[in-house]
């Protein structure tokens, strides 16, 4: 005889019916446990209700095993539920995990899910398969040219959206992105850009003369990190002195990588021209307002957009960070002192002695910077 006490429990003086779905039938259900409020505080009445409900659900299980379900419990079946789509799951994720998170969290997550929609499509979560996950990995690495590290970062974001949505929405599915294999891949695009290609790039950027291209031009003859350039306030720029320069310092909307990153960089060559043009284009207090405001700097979205453009117009061998590698090599080529190279690029000091004093005067930095533009 069935002990129906095991299928009821009391919560705040009200009884509930609760039964776990057999493992072989769980794929048919939205959740692995069926729980129904009995709307009574009377234990004997609750037992009678539980007995009837257990009889009904047992009948459904028998019919499911015979693949002929006609029970009133059909409303609990996956086939009778509207399954959440990927974009609906995204909103659940952002609403649940986005409390007190920076804007970059929302931007990055939306961007990563948009990649999946572009590669696979926006469909119900239960329709995604491990084959889709593998196809998405191939799309990221082969078609978009992402490195293994970047691909792993995107995949991790997508996996998190699926994991939370499966739990929050009680979906009886496994996460197809939980164990996607990311093959080792050499990081490409970090090699220095040859001088003839660099000049071609600089001229093209100034000719197009829009915000994205001026960012690239600014980086070429300054060696700045992308985030440093994007976070520039107009007050950080000095074009009126005898030695035009940019001051790199920490802001509330953009932190710096190291203490050595605080520095002044002379403006020369194409970077000087890029700043002049950017100041004219900018309609806010920030040099590149599309990627910077008083609360955040959108480095990730800028990097994705600029790298895509570089790959299409130059070669898949180069990315934005290549310009920083090129800057260091160009300084080496003119035999610039390594201490000054570190100071110009904001690289960590290579010896204790470098931390003594105030560093090289701006005028000396300017002399060496002029040499790389004429070399």
Q: What is the pTM for the complete model shown?
A: 0.57
CATH number of 86-168: 1.10.150
Do residues 319 and 201 touch, judged by C-beta distance below 8 A? no
pLDDT in tens, 212-260: 999 999 999 999 999 999 999 999 999 999 999 999 999 989 888 888 8
SS3 276: helix
Question: For helices 103-119 and 299-313, what crossing angle results, to 10°?
Answer: 40
Q: Which fold has domain 195-374?
A: hpI Integrase; Chain A (1.10.443)
| Residues whose CB is less than 8 angstroms from the CB of residue 45 and which lie 6 or more positions away in sequence, other chains included | 38
pLDDT in tens, 312-348: 888 777 889 889 999 999 999 999 999 999 999 998 7
Domain ranges of the chain: 4-80, 86-168, 195-374
Would you place residue 68 in the very low, low, confident or very high pLDDT band (cuts 50, 70, 90)?
very low
| Residues whose CB is less than 8 angstroms from the CB of residue 198 and which lie 6 or more positions away in sequence, other chains included | 220, 323, 326
Instruction: Report the distance separating Cα 58 and Cα 71, nearest Å.
Output: 10
SS3 371: helix
| Residues whose CB is less than 8 angstroms from the CB of residue 346 and which lie 6 or more positions away in sequence, other chains included | 224, 225, 228, 248, 256, 257, 258, 260, 261, 262, 263
The pLDDT of 254-283, averaged and rounded, is 92
- Does an H or E element contain 245, and which? strand 245-248
């Amino acid at each position: 005889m069935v002990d129906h006490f095991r299928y009821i429990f009391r919560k705040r003086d009200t009884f509930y019916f609760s039964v776990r779905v057999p493992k072989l039938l769980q794929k048919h259900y939205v959740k692995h446990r069926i729980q129904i409020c009995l709307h009574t505080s009377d234990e004997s009445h609750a037992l009678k209700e539980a007995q009837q409900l257990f009889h009904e659900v047992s009948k459904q299980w028998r019919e499911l095993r015979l693949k002929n379900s006609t029970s009133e419990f059909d409303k609990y079946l996956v086939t009778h539920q509207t399954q959440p789509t990927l974009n609906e799951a995204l909103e659940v994720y952002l609403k649940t995990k986005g409390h007190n998170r920076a804007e970059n969290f929302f931007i990055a997550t939306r961007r990563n899910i948009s990649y999946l929609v572009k590669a696979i499509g926006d469909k119900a979560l239960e329709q995604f398969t491990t084959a889709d996950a593998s196809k998405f990995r191939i799309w990221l690495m082969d078609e978009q040219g992402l490195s293994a590290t970047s691909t792993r970062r995107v995949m991790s974001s997508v996996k998190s959206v699926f994991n939370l949505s499966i739990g929050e929405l009680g979906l009886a599915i496994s996460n197809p992105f939980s164990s996607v294999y990311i093959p080792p891949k050499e990081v490409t695009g970090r090699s220095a850009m040859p001088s003839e290609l660099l000049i071609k790039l600089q001229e093209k950027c100034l000719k197009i003369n829009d915000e994205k291209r001026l960012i690239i031009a600014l980086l070429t003859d300054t060696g700045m990190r992308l985030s440093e350039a994007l976070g520039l306030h107009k007050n950080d720029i000095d074009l009126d002195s005898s030695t035009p320069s940019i001051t790199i310092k920490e802001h509330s909307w953009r932190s710096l990588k190291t203490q050595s990153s605080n520095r002044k960089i002379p403006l020369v060559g194409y970077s000087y021209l890029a700043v002049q043009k950017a100041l004219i284009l900018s309609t806010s207090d920030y040099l590149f307002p599309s990627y910077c405001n008083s609360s955040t700097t959108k480095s990730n979205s800028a990097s994705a957009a600029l790298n895509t453009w570089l790959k299409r117009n130059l070669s898949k061998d180069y990315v934005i960070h290549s310009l920083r590698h090129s800057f260091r090599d160009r300084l080496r080529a003119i035999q610039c002192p390594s201490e000054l190279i570190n100071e110009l690029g904001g690289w960590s000091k290579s010896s204790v002695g470098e931390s003594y004093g105030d560093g090289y005067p701006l005028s000396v930095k300017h002399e060496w910077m002029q040499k790389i533009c004429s070399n």
